Structure 1
Amino acid sequence: MDLKILPLAITMMAGPQIIAALVLVTTRQPVRVSLAFLAGAAVATSAGVALARGLFGLFGNVVPLGDPADTGSVGNLIQFGLVALLVAVAIRAFLRRRTAEPPGWLTGLMEAGAAHALATGILVILAMPSDIVVMLTVGAHMAHGGEDFTAAVGFIAATVLIAALPLLVLVAAGRRAREAMPSVRDWLNSHSWVVTIATCVVFVFLLL
């Protein structure tokens, strides 16, 4: 397990992703639909990371990625470029913080069944530009270090754990948690940009 990529698990769930998890714990069958959502998130993250690792592995066979200790190596330059994209996403989130509104599909989750929640768990990972950039960054980092898919298990587990936090709180606190979830959801919806920026800063620090 590579500890450098673990902070990116927070970025994976910052924004509509964690808000979706919060909405699902307020439905009629919170445990069932939340578990389906987590299964979708786990499958999507695993598939995305595996694909990214494979793509950069193939690229490395054509253009050597170089020594990870060499900051000027092709592998490090690729990672720096991907980190720049993450920073651009964070800046965009900051600039739009006052006008950003929750996606319309979040409203439909209030009546979601297990199948709907499963599909949502997949789509909030594979259809989000920020998550695609994160998974590409993880794949590039692994390929550059010559690591196989097992090195990403910790990252995938951390992503799913963060997605599971609303459900874990609900199970632990019961009715009080259900009553508090709407306020938490609203706060995260308006402050997710803070989490995104903080995570990017941590990752850049670790990478450099």
Structure 2
Amino acid sequence: MGLQVLPLAITMMAGPQIMSAIVFVTTGRAVRVSLAFLSGVLIATVAGVSITRELAALLGSALPAGGLQSSSLGKGIQIGLIGLLALLALKNYLGRKTARPPKWLGTLMSASPATALKTGLLVILAMPSDILIMLTVGANLEHHKAGLGAALPFIAATLLVAALPLLLYLAFHKRAITAMPAVRDWMNTHSWLVNIIVCGIFITLVATGT
């Protein structure tokens, strides 16, 4: 597929998604719950891309020949998205002193594998930014008349980014045991900065037509 796979995959996991992955490797059953979480991410991403691919196929005849971005409506949507994301980034910056991480992140410390699986599904399928990215991937597949197989690099990259905390935990077990909680605490106290970075990445993707 013609998309820049790695930036899309990073954006898929930026924010609560990667924070969840980091929290899971700080639990007592780090490997089990992390593998369950990754299973949820994989299932959700495959299902999401498949659904958006079919949706793009159904809407194919209603889209301009050069794609939505080639129309005035598409350009207006693009400008509107950039404006909304910029406002969201500004809101996060102005509210940085009172920003708090989502309360549900704290409950993940005692999560079971079943809860971790459900979390992996929800952080992909319930996040508007991830839905937009999967819609972009689905539209790209339809534009090139490609099947789900063409999206495997994107799916694999998303899973790899999601697995980074677990891979680091396994590779540097002793150091990770002390480092990961510190990373988790930093992300909790700097959630506003994480959100701004996510907005910046997505603004770049929208502006460049990735």
TM range (shorter): 0.7 to 0.9
Q: What does residue 91 of structure 2 align with? A: 95
Residue 36 of structure 1 aligns to a residue whose secondary structure is helix
Distance between the aligned counterparts of 1:116 and 1:95, measured in 2? 31
Residue deviations 1:62-84 (CA, integer Å, cap 9, x gap): x254136x96259xx65873685
Q: What does residue 116 of structure 2 align with? A: 117
TM-score computed with the length of structure 1 as normaliser: 0.85
- Could you say if the C-alpha distance between residues 143 and 84 of structure 1 is closer, same or farther in structure 2, counting changes exceeding 3 Å? farther
Residue 59 of structure 2 aligns to a residue whose secondary structure is helix
The question of 1:203 aligning with 2:205 is answered yes
Number of aligned residues = 204
- Could you say if the C-alpha distance between residues 140 and 133 of structure 1 is closer, same or farther in structure 2, counting changes exceeding 3 Å? same
Give yes or no for contact 1:36–1:115 (8 Å, CA) kept in 2: yes
Q: What does residue 2 of structure 1 align with? A: 2
- Could you say if the C-alpha distance between residues 90 and 183 of structure 1 is closer, same or farther in structure 2, counting changes exceeding 3 Å? farther
Structure 1 unaligned spans of 5+: none
Distance between the aligned counterparts of 2:15 and 2:82, measured in 1? 14
Distance between the aligned counterparts of 1:149 and 1:79, measured in 2? 27
Q: What does residue 60 of structure 2 align with? A: 60
Q: In the TM superposition, what is the alpha-carbon distance from 1:136 to its structure 2 partner?
A: 1.4
Q: What does residue 31 of structure 2 align with? A: 31
Residue 26 of structure 1 aligns to a residue whose secondary structure is coil
Q: In the TM superposition, what is the alpha-carbon distance from 1:130 to its structure 2 partner?
A: 1.5
Distance between the aligned counterparts of 1:176 and 1:25, measured in 2? 12
The amino acid across from 1:12 in the alignment is M
Q: In the TM superposition, what is the alpha-carbon distance from 1:108 to its structure 2 partner?
A: 1.1
Structure 2 unaligned spans of 5+: none
Q: In the TM superposition, what is the alpha-carbon distance from 1:5 to its structure 2 partner?
A: 4.1
What's the Cα RMSD here?
A: 2.6
Identity level (%) = 50
The amino acid across from 2:195 in the alignment is W
